Structure 1
Amino acid sequence: MDIAQHIALIDELCFRPFPAEHGPSDVGFSGPGHHVAVLRAGHPLHDGDPGDWAVTADQYEKERDAVHEVLAARWGEADLWNLQTVLLRTEAEEIPEPWARLAACARTAWLWQVPGTGRWAAVAVADQDPAGGVQLLAVVTETAPP
């Protein structure tokens, strides 16, 4: 998938209805009030060399940043949001989905409030679970970030 396809999917998710139940979707998984799309996915670490994992993570971060450039031109500049602070907060408070899951799998995300939709969008590289592989994720939700 290329950057234009990533942007098109994010645009579509900004208007796609949310399902009533949690479960898989045609692009990743969804639940009440959120969609999480897997834009790209690498192989789990046990399938290869740790060096390949690092190269894939770096490549996906560059792709995440390229998506950021396009969306920032459209929706305004975004700060790189530190999800590790959200992850730490999960020990003491209930963090709503999809933010708790995103904080468990990614360290940072670009984050916007999408004008005219009442939704939030984030783009992140999930690289915290070696068994799950590196993934480039897009999140669209009606739940404000914690």
Structure 2
Amino acid sequence: MTKKLQTILYLEDDPAISELVLLALAARDDLELVHVATGPDAIARFPEVKPDLMLFDVMVPDLDGIDAARTIKEQHKDHLAPVIFMTAKTQAKMQIESMGALGIIAKPFDILVLADQIEEMYAAGIAEQSGARVEA
């Protein structure tokens, strides 16, 4: 069975970084990126979007990305979406690892390889979780 990455719920409050990520992923015609700027928005949009992957910044106002992901996982056990965190804070690494994240993308990131990096983390994580063959 093959699971292709099609939909990403993206949490980022910084407009400049959001624009870079949107540009980096725009070339992937078959990939839908749904952007939200706050943790509560991510939680609210999750059931509607039903993403294949959550790409969350750690440091966002109101409710950080780690707590937003934790809340989503607790509230939506019927649709488990893996998460990749983006952060400039190395202190958050242990907390992120305890969440079972597929990976961490350090800021600043390389816009030229970001899309491939996300797809590789997704494919490796899904293959590990299911034992299935995965298309990136």
Q: Give me the TM-score of the superposition, normalised by structure 1.
A: 0.28
| Greater Rg over alpha carbons, structure | 1
Larger strand fraction of residues: 1
Larger helix fraction of residues: 2
Q: Give me the TM-score of the superposition, normalised by structure 2.
A: 0.29
